[in-house]
Structures are given as structure tokens and as C-alpha cells.
């Protein structure tokens, strides 16, 4: 009798085992995947570790400081592709991120007229998490040395801890910026991210400075904090060094430390610049520190990015 019912018993046992494994994945899988998505960065930003709030950059303006567009009298079209892998710090051979993890972005900027602005679109996939973000940026120069700007971001997030259950979050945010040219060598910028506190965990105030020596060497430094936290808890700082090699090549290296997000890392990039065309290539490494307050597990993120920008 026992042997007669053995196939039925075995089938029942296998079904129960599958159910237990599925439930276990739902319960414990959340420890492997974070539900946060990093802000989109251009290839150049990845090479500088995200620094550049005080820099005069047209393609990056919508992501760094919209006021920078006020200093340009050109138009540009920008396209970017980024690949990403994520691994657990406890076991670097265990890749946690699905193969689809990648970012792509487009920016159309027109600063050739008195009304200066840009449109941007970014699509991101990190682990099980996905984001689509549209950006509308405007800038107005007060003089040859000062400008203000604003970006309106429209975001749709789909986040999941396990790949089975997804939460959708649609929200809109403002970013305000100002840029001032102190001299031909030094510019400073200030941005306030999400002053309406639509997403309280993303509020930031950042002050940035750029120093350029004879168009050969450029130094960047940003410092800021989450203004809803104590300075020691939300402090962030970024720094970068760029050198011009030969005539049309630029090499850059950067680093960053963000206590609010419990992340630190570095970047390395190279640019080939022509009067109307610019090609960028960069690597970025991010160490996500383990934290029980955020919460998040320790992870290592490695990115490779390439972009093309055409000036008109």
C-alpha cells in the first residue's frame, strides 16, 4: 500500500517544497536587493565621481545645476548608454544584479536664444528596480557672470525587493540652482534639491566650485548635506581632477563620499573633444555600505558608460 501511494506522496512533498522555497524567497530575498535607485549621471559625471555643481557644462546642467545653461549660446544633443553590475561585498563572486541592469539617457539643450532650456529623458534599471524620468530645465542669465535656473523632474519608479511584488511611485520634484563666475578661472554654483520635500530622503543642498588653470588643469569640489538631517549624518563631498592631454583629449579622476546614503567611491573618465562633437567614456565604482537605518546591505556597484554629444 505504501509503495502504491509513493508517487502521490512524492509529488505532494515536491509541491510543498516548492511552496516553502517560494515563501522563503519572498521573506529573505529582500535582504539581497535594495529598493533605492541612484540618480542618473552623465558619462562625464561618472568620471568625476558626480562632482560639478560649480562647473559650466551644458549637457550635464539638467542633472547637476540648471543655471549653468545661462552661460552658453549654443544648442546640443546628447545620448548615453551605461552598463552596471552589482555584487555583494560579503561574496564578490555572487552577482546580485540581473543582466538587464543598464541606464540610458537623452538630452536636448537650446541655449542659443535668450530663453535657455533643455528636455531630458532617462530610463534606468537597477536590480529589480526601474525608473523613468523626464526633466524640463530653464535658465536665465542676470549678467555675463551670474545666472539662475530650475529643473522640473517627472518620475515614475517601480521598485521590488524580490522580483515578484512591485510598488509604483509617481512623483514630481523641483531643483533650483544658481551659478556665479568669480573670475575667468573660478566659478561657483549652488543647488537645492527638492525644496518642497516631495521625497524627504532626497533633499539636498550642495555648494560647488570649479577652478581652471590655463585650460589645462581643472579642479572640482562639491560639498553639501541633507538639510533635514544633522550635518554629521547627511554630509556629502565630491572632488575631481581633470587634465588636458595632447590637444583634444581630457583625462579625469574623481571621488565621492555620501554619509546620508552611506556610499563612497571613485570614477575615471576620458573625453575626445572636437568643435562640434564630443565622445566620453568612463568607469565608476561605488561601495554601498551596510546600514540598518536605511536599510541596505553592503554592495559593490561597477559601471561602464559611453556617450556622444553633438553641438550646434
The pLDDT of residue 21 is 41
Compare 37 and 185 and report the one with higher pLDDT: 185
SS3 119: strand
Residue 126 has pLDDT above 90, yes or no: no
63: buried, middle or exposed (CB in 10 Å: 19+, 13-18, 0-12)?
Answer: buried
SS3 252: strand
Tens digits of residue pLDDT in 214-230: 989 999 999 999 988 88
Instruction: Round to whole Å and give the CA distance between 43 and 252.
Output: 11
194: buried, middle or exposed (CB in 10 Å: 19+, 13-18, 0-12)?
Answer: buried
Element (H, E) at 202: none
32-311: CATH architecture: Beta Barrel (2.40)
DSSP state of 236: E
Instruction: Round to whole Å and give the CA distance between 78 and 248.
Output: 19
Mean pLDDT of the chain: 87
Tens digits of residue pLDDT in 62-94: 999 999 999 999 999 999 999 998 887 665 555
Amino acid at each position: 500500500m505504501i509503495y502504491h501511494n509513493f508517487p502521490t506522496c512524492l509529488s505532494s512533498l515536491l509541491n510543498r517544497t516548492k511552496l516553502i522555497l517560494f515563501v522563503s524567497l519572498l521573506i529573505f530575498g529582500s535582504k539581497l536587493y535594495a529598493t533605492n535607485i541612484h540618480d542618473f549621471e552623465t558619462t562625464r559625471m561618472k568620471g568625476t565621481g558626480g562632482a560639478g555643481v560649480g562647473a559650466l557644462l551644458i549637457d550635464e546642467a539638467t542633472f547637476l545645476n540648471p543655471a549653468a545653461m545661462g552661460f552658453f549660446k549654443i544648442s546640443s544633443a546628447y545620448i548615453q548608454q551605461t552598463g552596471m553590475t552589482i555584487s555583494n561585498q560579503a561574496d564578490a563572486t555572487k552577482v546580485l544584479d540581473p543582466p538587464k541592469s543598464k541606464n540610458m539617457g537623452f538630452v536636448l539643450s537650446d541655449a542659443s536664444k535668450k530663453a535657455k532650456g533643455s528636455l531630458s529623458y532617462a530610463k534606468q534599471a537597477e536590480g529589480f528596480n526601474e525608473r523613468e524620468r523626464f526633466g524640463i530645465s530653464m535658465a536665465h542669465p542676470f549678467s555675463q557672470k551670474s545666472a539662475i535656473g530650475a529643473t522640473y523632474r517627472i518620475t515614475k519608479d517601480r521598485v521590488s525587493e524580490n522580483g515578484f511584488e512591485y510598488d509604483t511611485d509617481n512623483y514630481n520634484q523641483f531643483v533650483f540652482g544658481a551659478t556665479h563666475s568669480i573670475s575667468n578661472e573660478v566659478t561657483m554654483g549652488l543647488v537645492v534639491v527638492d525644496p518642497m520635500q516631495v521625497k524627504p530622503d532626497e533633499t539636498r543642498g550642495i555648494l560647488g566650485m570649479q577652478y581652471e588653470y590655463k585650460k589645462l588643469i581643472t579642479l572640482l569640489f562639491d560639498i553639501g548635506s541633507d538639510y533635514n538631517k544633522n550635518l554629521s549624518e547627511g554630509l556629502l563631498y565630491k572632488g575631481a581632477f581633470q587634465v588636458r592631454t595632447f590637444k583634444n583629449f581630457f583625462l579625469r579622476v574623481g571621488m565621492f563620499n555620501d554619509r546620508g546614503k552611506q556610499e563612497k567611491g571613485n570614477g575615471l573618465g576620458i573625453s575626445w573633444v572636437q568643435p562640434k562633437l564630443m565622445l566620453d567614456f568612463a568607469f565608476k565604482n561605488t561601495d554601498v555600505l551596510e546600514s540598518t537605518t536605511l536599510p541596505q546591505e553592503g554592495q559593490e556597484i561597477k559601471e561602464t558608460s559611453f556617450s556622444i554629444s553633438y553641438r550646434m
